[in-house]
Structure 1
Amino acid sequence: MAKFDFLSDLNQPWHHLPIEQVLTALASSMEGLTYVNARQRLRYLGANKLPRSRPMFKIWLQPFLNPLTYLLFGVAIYLQWQGAEGWILLLVGAMHGGFGIYLTAATNAIKEQVLRDRPQRRQHEPSNSVMVLRDRETLELPSRDLVIGDILLLQAGDRPNVDLRLVESSADLIVNQTNLGGEAICQKQADLICDLKTAPLDCGNMIWAGTEITAGNAKGVVIARGLLTKEQAALNKEQPFSAIHSELRQLRQLGLGILILVITTVNGLSWQRGITLNLMIASALVISTYPKNLLRLATYVQLLGMRDLAKQRLWARFPAVLDAIGRVTTIVPIVESDVVLSFDELSRGGISWRALIRASEDDAQAFGQVIGIETHSYFAGAQERIRQWQGDRRRASVAVIGYDLEDISLLRAADIGICDRNCCKELQDSAALILPKEDFHYLPIAILEGRAVFDRLQRMVTLSTVSALTLAIVVLMDAAAGFSVPPLQLIWIGAIATPIVAIPLVREPSHQQLLHQPAHRFQTMLRSSNYIRISLAVFATVTAVCLVFSLKYQGQAALLSQARTMAFVTLGFSQIFHACAIARQSIFQNLPLLLGVSAIALCQVLFVQVPWFSDILLTVPLNGVEWAIAILSATAVFWVQELLK
């Protein structure tokens, strides 16, 4: 098959080449490929189809493609060889790696389920059969048998799943490119030769996969198929990380910087005392404070929100839409004179309404005074108005509700384009959120779900951040006092107990009260109120741990083990009380959280009272009074959160 090696390098400017040169480069002709040549190319290239989902073996291999995995292996083996508990690092790493694999698999499953509920799904799918030229004959073939160099015949209504360079076209050929972010009416012509730097959607001699022939007929040569088409590149580009993903990345980088600073400081304190920093403690601190699977969890929660909306017949185009709709502060419908707006419920949540109307600016102003919202002319710089509203508030988003074909440009200019299922499919291809029908009462449902997604992730991140900062400060204070925190206690609190009580928070149902809270609370996690909340929670937890330790220790070496154990109990139960304080519903209504809290409480008792566990975690049994003092001290973070409410 060496004669088909040229098919593996097809990154050429086909739009800039004459038709004869394109056919020559693809070893094809106007009469089409021969049967034998086409069959050989099909065996060489494989079937023309997209993978239905990510193969499971790639998901399982994912942790082994991360260099940090091998770093963890090396550190664990070295520590085990040195007589430390390196096995626990491998165990925790495997646990979080397995959870990451589960999240990836669950995300793929939810994504497929949501796509099955997509409106007008059949209209978005290409036909299973196509008309091609083979040996000068017109044949109907399955689309999966198309190969590079095939001559494809197209007519009105066809949606090809391959990229084509036109070789013949009728004078009335029109292509709809809205599904790729282009215009609904694009005239195409085969004998054009476009400039080398022409944007793909502006190439008048190309037809891309995912577009639709609106009128006319054409003949084109296949230049790309499968994952190599512009449609797949556009889908990847059109699904960027949401704003909340960017914030989580910033938090992760900030956490890593703080972690490096803490380890460096602890090393300096130990060096002053003539002690070498214990590698096991440093490793335990890293694995118990570094945020793991954070971005995967964010995507997973957003997809759960998409699925919940789909059950109510609201369809979001991408997971990032849930984040954008949760941050919305301005809704701009394109209204008619007889429109009925209902915005009282959203106004209480800090969301303002503005409108565009197809009338003069004077008439728009007069109409706005009648309906009570700011209204402007659709024809007087509507896109500039939208950009102005977008710049009014930082990180806020503007939603535009359109109904007609000419509204496509405004939907794309907005952060969120909205339409309903009764609109034309070109408009639906350009919209980020599709409502079941023309009814503003569906908007609160979508906004509530977007805010709920943000709120779930925010509470999970808050709990994890408080735990990580608390452990870092405890290690610093222990190093300054000349003590050494048992590494396994750090790993249990930060890498096991905290995720067990934090993850159930992302599965809580949407709380109706979120819709009435100020919009600024859902713009960003990186705001001063959150910093204050986290700081107070960390202060309360660290103070409780220090008080318990100091009251029991009192400078007596014989009581060090009891004091350390009581501090360990206080740390463990602080995670429980913190999770209960920030949960949106009662712990008895959240079964995963109830099971997690019960498991952590039971393990804390076992780790202290059972000799085998106490030998591993370096704890000693406590009496009833000591248990009561430690647990009551752990409630400090609960009362701080209640006061903040």
Structure 2
Amino acid sequence: MTKFDFLSDTQKTWHYMDVDQVLAALESSIEGLSYVNARQRLRHFGANKLPRSRPISKVLIQPLINPLTYLLLGSAIYLQWNGAEGWALISVGVLHSGVGICLALWSIKTKEKVSRDRPQRRQNEPSNSVMVLRDREEMEVPSRDLVLGDVMVLREGDRPNVDLRLLETSEDLRVNQTNLGGEAICSKRPDLTFEEKTPPLECSNMIYAGTEISAGSAKGIVIATSRFTQEQAALVKEKPFSVIHSELRQLRQVWIGLLLLVTTTAIGFAWQRGITINAMTAAALIVSTYPQNLLRIATQVQLFGMRDLAKQRIWARFPSILDTIARVTTIVPIVESDVVLSFDDLSRAGIEWQGLIRASEDDSVAFSEVIGIKTHSYFDAPQEKIRQWQDSRQKSRQKPLNVVAVIGNDIEDIPLLRAADVGICDRTCRKELQDSSGIILPKEDFHYLPTAILEGRATFDRLQRTALLTATSSFTLAVLTLMDTAAGFSMPPLQIIWVGAIATPIVAFPLVLEPTHESLLTQPAHRFQTMLRPSNYLRILLAVTATITAISVVFWLKYQGQAAMFSQARSMAFVTLGFSQIFHACAIARRSIVSNLPLVFGITFIAICQIAFVQVPWFGDLMATVPLSGVEWAISILSATAVFWVQELIKTS
């Protein structure tokens, strides 16, 4: 038992204790700790530093602590031991792990770049030095040297990075808890106590890390540092995924369900025919159809969106804001009666304007006639109106949900910004207002909004097209495996791995690097509400059907039940399958493929590999293919364009 074991309990209900009990529990006093005692506690507990969210070392070792890594490794070793191509599974696993690590490191660097470019960054950071009482005297110490039991002196503008139980306060003390989701301006009193189950932000005898002293002064005793603060606990509990991430996770669950269904059905067909299903084929199907790194790609694309907005002096405070601004259907500015307004017409984008004016209802009606948008009185239950706009959702599934953005400019607007789906203010507003907003404009100019909405829609669109291409490839491979098993054939596992785990990601990733397309701002809002909508399922179904039909026609026209033609027929089907990914990517690209160099390089690489896999004897032995004639190549490639024409037909319908 060590000298400071009594400080190891970080879960005490400090708000439930009075001042004397807190001082006794921490073995401190109203005059603070002695310098020697503080240094001893610092050596025992370590510096008051926030943990790094994603250190590079953690990113590098992540594949090594993932149980799926060892499951894949064990399966590969077992299959290799039994004469299958287990080495291919290991190679693909290493490849995707390397790509995942690169994406994670890329995301870290992009976050740092966005953080450096954000407005008023330094004003929002806690101070590097603080005032504490040591040996009954005020002294300035580095914030990293704060320890449990320190008595800290707070003044206007201070932003502590520790949790404090208040000991003394001035009468005019006001604390801004916006960053933690609390009230913008609230008073604090040290002589109060609260029930044990009282929510933290309702305990007015506490000051938490991440808050700011808006007015007055206070003394508080440190009760939590580093990762044990309320702010860090809230970050851990906070849902880490945005709307797009959640939808991709749902799509991944559909993938897993499909794999289970296909595997079970294939085993049934194999049992009925009295044959044993190829374990290597099943393993290749799982590795090739599982959406590797799709969530990491989504994070990186959102960070790209934040970076592009920052270049235009628009700050999106969180990646999830890009999801919300893409789905906005109602924009509500809060204006004064004497303001001169200018709005962009966003009706073609399915977005309407609804104003709130700080005037009477009669004046708001007159104001509506002047500016041309429907305006309501700010003093007539504005939060209820926002809820009405949000809840007036169409019963028909084809209609979009109402997503409301509110533009505020006064401290009184904070409740409305929080009630909205996304709050918006400009850089001249007070910090309390900025802390309650999701998007901060460079100045009070509504013409910046179309830029933010367009970037949000572009982010959504890039991820949607990447997910559609990946899903189509996965479902195509699953159906082909099922058809082969039902027909008594066996699709070569290396062909499945090449198309699903290598070729498809190579042509899918460049789609997220495309520049923003201006036409997205003229498309209806319902296209950006969710990726899991019936029209997308229909697009996947039509693309899978077109690809499967083209492959089946090519195979059976060549095969026609003749065993001697089986190798040529399977090689032609493989070429059709591989080139289908190329034509599908070309069809769903927003811009000309010539303007997207990564896509050009990806298409060229895949085309060269497809030719080598068929025409080069060594690769032919590996991929179970045979050389084809010029006519057979032409037939196979022309058949692969079926998915391209289907996608073009969808665009024009």
TM-score range, shorter chain: over 0.9
AA partner of residue 225 (structure 2): R
Deviation at 1:365, TM superposition (A): 2.6
Task: Name the counterpart of 1:524.
Answer: 530
Task: Name the counterpart of 1:468.
Answer: 474
AA partner of residue 435 (structure 1): L
CA contact (8 A) 1:544 1:633 kept: yes
Counterpart Cα distance in 2 of 1:422 and 1:183:
21
Task: Name the counterpart of 1:71.
Answer: 71
Counterpart Cα distance in 1 of 2:366 and 2:168:
53
Counterpart Cα distance in 2 of 1:26 and 1:165:
11
Task: Name the counterpart of 2:575.
Answer: 569
CA contact (8 A) 2:344 2:447 kept: no
Counterpart Cα distance in 2 of 1:342 and 1:643:
39
Counterpart Cα distance in 1 of 2:173 and 2:312:
39
Counterpart Cα distance in 2 of 1:336 and 1:171:
33
Task: Name the counterpart of 1:278.
Answer: 278
AA partner of residue 326 (structure 2): G
Q: Does 1:480 align with 2:494?
A: no
Counterpart Cα distance in 2 of 1:460 and 1:49:
39
SS of the residue corresponding to residue 349 of structure 2 reads: coil
Q: Does 1:498 align with 2:518?
A: no
Change beyond 3 A, Cα 1:468–1:299: same
SS of the residue corresponding to residue 292 of structure 2 reads: coil
Counterpart Cα distance in 1 of 2:554 and 2:421:
51
Unaligned runs of 5+ in 2: 394-399
Q: Does 1:581 align with 2:587?
A: yes
The 5-angstrom pairing of residues 449-464 of structure 1 reads: 449-464=455-470
Q: 2:639 aligns with which of 625, 633, 643?
A: 633
Measured against aligned partners, the alpha-carbon deviations of 1:431-479 in whole angstroms (never above 9, x if no partner) come to 1000000001100110000000000000001101111111111111111
Counterpart Cα distance in 2 of 1:545 and 1:474:
9
Task: Name the counterpart of 1:28.
Answer: 28
AA partner of residue 478 (structure 1): D
AA partner of residue 119 (structure 2): P
Counterpart Cα distance in 2 of 1:402 and 1:369:
22
Counterpart Cα distance in 2 of 1:545 and 1:295:
31
Task: Name the counterpart of 2:50.
Answer: 50
Counterpart Cα distance in 1 of 2:335 and 2:307:
30
AA partner of residue 145 (structure 2): D
Counterpart Cα distance in 2 of 1:395 and 1:456:
21
Counterpart Cα distance in 2 of 1:238 and 1:286:
31
CA contact (8 A) 2:554 2:569 kept: yes
Counterpart Cα distance in 1 of 2:427 and 2:470:
41
Which range moved further: 474-483 or 209-218? 209-218
CA contact (8 A) 1:240 1:320 kept: no
Q: Does 1:83 align with 2:83?
A: yes
Unaligned runs of 5+ in 1: none
Task: Name the counterpart of 1:139.
Answer: 139
SS of the residue corresponding to residue 3 of structure 2 reads: helix
SS of the residue corresponding to residue 248 of structure 2 reads: helix
CA RMSD in angstroms comes to 1.4
SS of the residue corresponding to residue 30 of structure 1 reads: coil
Counterpart Cα distance in 2 of 1:211 and 1:477:
61
CA contact (8 A) 2:337 2:359 kept: no
CA contact (8 A) 1:124 1:210 kept: no
AA partner of residue 494 (structure 2): L
AA partner of residue 222 (structure 2): V
How does the TM-score come out when normalised to structure 1?
Answer: 0.98
CA contact (8 A) 1:467 1:575 kept: yes
Q: Does 1:163 align with 2:136?
A: no
Deviation at 1:388, TM superposition (A): 1.3
Q: Does 1:620 align with 2:620?
A: no
SS of the residue corresponding to residue 509 of structure 2 reads: helix
Q: Does 1:62 align with 2:62?
A: yes
CA contact (8 A) 1:239 1:320 kept: no
Q: Identity percentage over the alignment?
A: 71
Counterpart Cα distance in 2 of 1:501 and 1:637:
15
Q: 2:609 aligns with which of 561, 579, 603?
A: 603
AA partner of residue 13 (structure 2): P
Deviation at 1:239, TM superposition (A): 6.2
Task: Name the counterpart of 2:38.
Answer: 38
AA partner of residue 597 (structure 1): I
Deviation at 1:338, TM superposition (A): 3.6
Task: Name the counterpart of 2:441.
Answer: 435
SS of the residue corresponding to residue 187 of structure 1 reads: coil
AA partner of residue 2 (structure 2): A
Deviation at 1:192, TM superposition (A): 1.1
AA partner of residue 123 (structure 2): Q
Q: 2:424 aligns with which of 413, 418, 439?
A: 418
Counterpart Cα distance in 2 of 1:341 and 1:518:
25
Task: Name the counterpart of 2:302.
Answer: 302
Counterpart Cα distance in 2 of 1:586 and 1:307:
24
CA contact (8 A) 1:162 1:209 kept: yes
Deviation at 1:66, TM superposition (A): 2.1
The 5-angstrom pairing of residues 46-445 of structure 1 reads: 46-51=46-51, 54-236=54-236, 240-393=240-393, 395-445=401-451
Change beyond 3 A, Cα 1:366–1:397: same
Counterpart Cα distance in 2 of 1:387 and 1:6:
49
Measured against aligned partners, the alpha-carbon deviations of 1:385-409 in whole angstroms (never above 9, x if no partner) come to 1111112236442100000000000
Which range moved further: 168-177 or 400-409? 168-177
Measured against aligned partners, the alpha-carbon deviations of 1:25-61 in whole angstroms (never above 9, x if no partner) come to 1122222112222112111222112245622111111
- For these two proteins, the number of residue pairs brought into alignment is 645
SS of the residue corresponding to residue 496 of structure 1 reads: helix
CA contact (8 A) 1:359 1:378 kept: yes
CA contact (8 A) 1:357 1:376 kept: yes
Instruction: Could you list the structure 1 runs, at least 4 aligned residues long, displaced by more than 3 angstroms after superposition.
Output: 233-240, 338-345, 393-396
How does the TM-score come out when normalised to structure 2?
Answer: 0.97
SS of the residue corresponding to residue 346 of structure 2 reads: helix
SS of the residue corresponding to residue 186 of structure 1 reads: coil
Counterpart Cα distance in 1 of 2:35 and 2:514:
58
CA contact (8 A) 1:285 1:471 kept: yes
AA partner of residue 189 (structure 1): R
Which range moved further: 102-111 or 447-456? 102-111
Counterpart Cα distance in 2 of 1:64 and 1:224:
33
SS of the residue corresponding to residue 379 of structure 2 reads: coil
CA contact (8 A) 2:469 2:508 kept: yes
Deviation at 1:8, TM superposition (A): 3.0
Q: Does 1:544 align with 2:541?
A: no
